Amino acid sequence: MIRLEKVSKVFPGGTRPAVDTLDLEVAGGQTCVLIGPSGCGKTTTMRIVNRLIEPSAGRIIVEGKDVTGADPVQLRRRIGYVIQQVGLFPHMTIGQNVATVPHLLGWDDARTARRVEEMLVLVGLEPGQFIHRYPRHLSGGQRQRVGVARALAADPPVLLMDEPFGAVDPIVRTSLQSELLAILRRLRKTVIFVTHDIDEAIRMGDLVAIMKDGRLVQCDPPEGLLSAPKDSFVADFVGADRALKRLALTTAAEAATQATPGDKAPSVAPATSLRDVLSLLLASGADVANVVKDDGTPIGTVSLATIRERAARPG
């Protein structure tokens, strides 16, 4: 769906390329997270995809078409774009903001209105409550939801996200990550996501691409990255707590064993990560947690022994 071939970018006066002969391929429906130290070229790489930054060399392939020389305005209308500061138009209502690209594409008013309501519902904002408000009336998390709704309004196959949750507090950030993951899994968009947070990268990415000095050092699924770092730079970057990060990739339901629920054992939801189960067990002093559905149906249990085994298992 997205392929960069030998892409480079040299800015005037630069002592080295900002992006240096980079090859990257993201399959349709995948989320690829770009991460690395400040100045590594991750944001430049992402902006090359929709030609907000023109490459100095190489080719950009989107949906099988070489768009390196395409009309950049038309290209951007086919690619959703979400940034950290959202960039909502302050003089326009929430509904008008979400309708921006459909209007540019010539959609009629009835189709646009339906789509605006669908998108607001999708991101958890009740249309009757929010559609006529202005951005200044919304919290940071709500504005970020509107930014996602606007980016998805014209149903683009590709979505670019530049540190979209960097400006919200940690609790809201975790909630928005969960909601975005659910949306992306349902819609199967192809996403390039830039972050500086390795935990966010591991949680959000089907692929995690670590960059350094404009070059791609390693690009792997999160499990592969954590279990087999390519070199010392990658190992240091992902952190010494790689085993704990791997636990965040497995849910309680996936690790549960069939055992009699304990009367005094804490309960967790099926989607709870093993990392969070471990935290709960350590805090409560328990050795096992019950895994229970929302309706109270027990699935099984997760023990400290199971978590230790999972953490030690080779990738």
| Alpha-carbon gap, residue 234 to 139, rounded angstroms | 36
* DSSP β-ladder status, 207-212 and 31-35: parallel
* DSSP β-ladder status, 190-194 and 207-212: unpaired
The average confidence (pLDDT) of the chain is 91
Pick the closest to residue 218 from 203, 204, 201 (CA basis): 201
Mean pLDDT on 202-220: 95
pLDDT bucket at 85, cuts 50 / 70 / 90? low
Q: If you search the block for the tokens 């038309």, which residue do you land on?
A: 74
The pLDDT assigned to 86 comes to 65
| Alpha-carbon gap, residue 280 to 286, rounded angstroms | 8
pLDDT bucket at 262, cuts 50 / 70 / 90? low
**Tokens at 41, concatenated:** 């070229």
pLDDT in tens, 267-310: 999 989 999 999 999 999 899 999 999 888 889 999 999 998 88
Mean pLDDT on 20-49: 95
Mean pLDDT on 97-113: 94
- Asked if residue 221 has pLDDT above 70, the reply is yes
pLDDT bucket at 258, cuts 50 / 70 / 90? confident
- Asked if residue 108 has pLDDT above 80, the reply is yes
The pLDDT assigned to 35 comes to 96
